[in-house]
Structure 1
Amino acid sequence: MKYFAYGSNCNQAIMEKKGVAFTSAEPAVLGGFRLRFNKMALRDALPSGIGFANINEDPAGEVEGILYEIVDDHLGRLDESERYPDHYGRIEVTVSSKNQSVTCITYQAQPDKLADGLRPSRNYLNHILAAKDFLSWQYFDALDKSQTFTDDCACCQKLGEVVFIKEDDQLHMLCQPCREARLIWGDTRGRRLTVAETRAMMTQLVEGGPGFSSVSELVQEAIATKVIDP
Structure 2
Amino acid sequence: MKEQEFLKLAYAAYGSNLHLKQMEVRCPTAECIGKGYLEDYQLVFGKRGFLDVVPCPGQKVQVGLFKVTDTDLQALDEYEEYPELYDRITVSIQTESKEKIQAFVYKMNPYDTMEKPTDAYWTTINEGYDNFSFDKKDLEDALSKIDEEVK
TM range (shorter): 0.7 to 0.9
Residue-pair matches, total: 135
The one-character-per-residue Cα deviations of 1:21-52 (angstroms, maximum 9, x if unpaired) are 212331111001000002x22xxxxxxxxx10
Output the TM-score relative to the length of structure 1.
0.53
1:100 is aligned to: 99
Distance 1:20 1:93, change over 3 A: farther
CA distance in 2, matches of 1:125, 1:100: 31
Aligned: 1:18 with 2:16:
no
1:3 is aligned to: 11
Asked if structure 1 preserves the Cα contact closer than 8 Å seen for 2:26 and 2:72, the reply is no
Displacement of 1:16 after TM fit? 2.1
Alignment gaps of 5+ in structure 2: 1-6, 147-151
Matched to 1:4, the amino acid is: A
Match of 2:84, SS state, is: coil
RMSD after superposition: 2.3
Alignment gaps of 5+ in structure 1: 42-50, 150-230
Match of 1:27, SS state, is: strand
Matched to 1:115, the amino acid is: T
CA distance in 2, matches of 1:15, 1:110: 22
Q: Which has the higher contact order (CA 8 A, sep 6+)?
A: 2
Q: Over alpha carbons, which structure has the higher Rg?
A: 1
2:119 is aligned to: 122
CA distance in 1, matches of 2:51, 2:124: 11
CA distance in 1, matches of 2:23, 2:64: 12
CA distance in 2, matches of 1:144, 1:54: 14
1:82 is aligned to: 80
